[in-house]
Amino acid sequence: MSIQTDKFFRKNQIVPKEILYLVREEGKTVVYLTDGRSVRTFTPLKTLVDGLRGVRMLSINKGVSVNEMQIFNVDSGCYTMTDGRMFRGRVRTPGEHSRNKTMIDHRRSMPQPPEPPASRFGIMDNFPLPFCIIELVFGKEGHGIDFLFRYCNKAMEEFEQIDKESLVNHTYYEVFPEGETKWLIAFSDVALHGGSKIIESFKTGRGPVRVFCFQTGEGFCACALVSDKA
């Protein structure tokens, strides 16, 4: 992804998987999103599509590129999107639309692996509070339970003064060898049984904080940290 394209997505808090379609309108590229927003830019449509990662876009007509995962139906070359909008595909290539329909129908007939909970939280990158997602795992080196950091935002990196690469996909005891087991018990309860919980006076290297945590999927727990100045 080019620096210019990356800045555009970050500035407008656009998560690629949440794009419905891109359309050229009145000399601009309009990005339509699943949350109802539309973002306009002078950046060429092809430049944005080429810069996307983790999402398959289909160019179905001049100036129209749609997210394959957001197509509800394809009928006689007409694409209906999940928000109800319809686009007519290229008239000169009917076979292309038939292949797309077959591909989409086949994909829907196949069992889909669950989306990793962490992948849904890219929008939290610039959230002002430290935020992370952890996955409960069996511990090593004598620890009964442990958890892996699966996501952390910029504020979490700054709070812990540890870069993301040293946190994500590393365990609690790898990052904090002197960490207390009692905190893991509280997190594991939420990760396994659901609901939400506020952990008071959680001790960190930057002083005590309150941790607001909730389950994002079985075995996963999201945590937001708030400084406890009391």
Closest of 165, 168, 177, 167 to residue 140, by C-alpha: 177
Domain containing residue 150: 117-227
Section 214-221 average pLDDT: 88
Same structural domain for residues 191 and 97?
Answer: no
Give the rounded distance of the alpha carbon of 180 from its chain centre. 30
Q: Are 121 and 133 in contact (CB under 8 A)?
A: yes
What's residue 111's pLDDT? Answer: 65
Q: Picking from 8-12, 106-110, 184-188, 191-195, which range would have the lowest pLDDT averaged per residue?
A: 106-110
Sign, CA dihedral 143-145-150-154, equals negative
| pTM metric for this prediction | 0.49
Helical H segments across the chain, by residue range = 3-11, 45-51, 94-109, 154-160, 164-167, 172-175, 181-193
192: tokens are 């396994």
* 56 and 137 fall within a common domain: no
For residues 184 and 172, the answer to whether their CB atoms sit within 8 Å is yes
Percent of the chain's residues with pLDDT above 90? 31
Q: Answer yes or no: is pLDDT of 56 > 80.
A: yes
Average pLDDT in the 119-147 region? 78
Q: What is the pLDDT of residue 149?
A: 92
Same domain? For 173 and 192 the reply is yes
Kindly state whether residues 127 and 220 are assigned to the same domain.
Answer: yes
Order of strands across the sheet with 71-75? 71-75, 78-81, 86-88
For the chain, give the mean pLDDT.
84
Q: What is the mean pLDDT of residues 2-10?
A: 76
